[in-house]
Structure 1
Amino acid sequence: MAEAGDGYRVTGVGPRDFSQLEDAWRPLDKGPDMSAFQSFEWMLLANENVAAERASRLAVRTRYYVVERAGTPVLIAPLRVHLAPISPGHRRGVHLVGRNGPADYLNLVYSEFDPRAAGAALTAAVKDFGVSSVRLERMLVGTQAQEWARGLVGSTASVSEAVRLVLPSSTAEYSAMLSKSTRQNIRTAWNRARSDGVHLEVSISSELNAAEADALAQLKRRREVSRNRRKSSGVDRVVAGARRAYFASLFASSDEARQAMTRTSRPWVLRVHADGAVCAFAFGLADNLGGSRTLRLLQVGIDDAFARYSPGLIGLHHFIDEELEHGRPHWDVIDFTRGEERYKFQLGGTSHGLNTVSLSWRPDLQASSLADP
């Protein structure tokens, strides 16, 4: 525990003591900038993987810095500190917890953003571990923490894209949002299945057991392996496979997506069945970022044997149409999250930005950015 001046106090908590943070965490993770990835439930899962991984042998440390003001927690900084570079993607410095897992949006945890508290947390990490490089990844553009970080002296930002669909008010309006070719492709896929005697059925549920989660994860993995084989040479595949296996052995969070499927309180699962067998799926979480009822799609996969029927595309399109048909959708936003895969835009999605903000942290240079909120 350290005094940070002006009534601020910073306490660093290790992954083994994460459960002690629940009382401080839960009042903060409901803030308007917080996504499901900052919730205590999600971070509890991420932390279990952090505690189990072997990366600590390679000088990687995790700390959750709780910043109190006048005795009340106002911010928690979930930070990963790399004391040495592991690879080009794992640089020496301070990072956000979750960068090795399926969390699409990372952030500090706060209800109302306090720049002094954020600065105190970064200062504590830099002092504790003797590193000055800070790299805050996957921050949603427009959140208070992202805007603050982007305005820090000496900061640079790289931009990546995520895709989301703000649902219109009717099926007619939604159909008008789609391109003529997309509408034709969807009709063709359904007709092709009927012509081949394949019965496709779309179902939605909030239940998923461990065996099903394993099967869906394997389906997605087979698809990825098949696509990589088509794109790369034999030598490239061997090297890429060895690299994946190496980092999977270090970072237990590589299994986080499958665990999330079975351990979230109310998962959302879309399945497309072809004659009774699952040929496509989508897995998501309910979220309330910014007050919008948001469905965040975290995993989407199809069985290559049924690719000619575009089961993922037609399944999601069918779901969206059903949502709008009666004029009272359960969701305001369908968030396809990170990546700019073609199907997301075919379904009417538009891009929104993520920032990775990098800088060398020196509190003496950041005085103007650490003013009272």
Structure 2
Amino acid sequence: MTASLRPHRDDVLIAAAGLLGGLVLWTLGVHTQVGGPLPGAWALIPMTVLAGLELLRRTAPQTALVLGTLGLIADQFTGTSLATVLMFTDIVYAAVLYGTPAAARRIPWTTALVTVAVTIGFAAWFRSADALLIGVVTALISFAPATTGVLVRNHRDAAEAARLRAEQTALLAEIDRTQAVTAERARMARELHDMVANHLSAIAIHSTAALSLDDARTTREALTVIRENSVDGLAEMRRLIGLLRDSGADTEPAAAPTLAALDTLLEQAETNGASSGLTFTLDDRRGAGPKLPTPVELAAYRIVQESLTNALKHAAPGPVAVELDCSEEALTVRIGSPFGDRSGPRAPGSGAGLVGMRERAALLDGVFEAGPAGTGDGGTIWQVRAELPVGEGRGTV
């Protein structure tokens, strides 16, 4: 897009003031020199030209400078109006301030060389100290406004750069804030799903069984499981709500579940899955060794928890095996469950559990796989496998 050639309002005012002031000085007979070859009204021509060029001081500063220089030279053959000289100095200043970066660098040096050349030339011609006065005047109408333009331009550029840096800093801060909020929401979603889904799945399955089977003993057992899971789920929800409310307070952090609690987790799964013909076993081959990093233990626990919940919702009757193994590089978690048709009640699934497990492994730079994997005694096995690096400096979940 090309810049508009319409003069700026301030430039119109400057041009009008310069022309009006020049006319007043010419009317009063005020001139900077007397005895030019073109006296009288000839001085109005370069004055009018310079006033017109003031309209171009922003839109075409270099063109205005070139034509203004010619107008100033022409003014030397007239009575030389002070208004013409002042308008020329403003055009030099504007050429540096509003011109291209190259022009802003070149004009001060050019005016300095012109000042030196004029001083030396008139010194050689007059052979008197009057040449120094001419050099000073030349510097005042060329070099001084050019230098002033450089200073103002540098200050303006510095202010613009500071403004851009402030905008970029604010933008980066907003991006960081958005990413932090998104990451926190994802973490909360994983925690909420992993803590509550197991209880709600058990409630859904046993409530379906209680409604579909006309047997008082079965109904009572189902209602007992439903009550236990309702109470446990409510406690988990209260704990999560308490953590959210106290996140800004100076409180002790809640203890994250560890692999030492897997026995309790499997006992609960055994109770919830008894009516579905599921049995649960734990094979912990880790042995004695250094304590695993807390993020790794939490991720492994949640992956086992979610896998047991999925088995409770979808697995065919049979054994569900949990295996743990640890090397110097990684903790390996495997959960295998019968994969096939199921005649009993099922709980609906959304796929969020697999997404959450995969995210937990990815945040630790680990590997996650889930799908049919070979056959067992009862048929096809659905296996969940995760390798979680145990090195220091990993991410958190």
Normalised by the length of structure 2, the TM-score is 0.18
Larger Rg: 2
Instruction: Identify which of structures 1 and 2 has the higher relative contact order when contacts are C-alpha pairs closer than 8 Å and 6+ apart.
Output: 1
Greater helix fraction, Structure 1 or Structure 2: 2
Normalised by the length of structure 1, the TM-score is 0.19
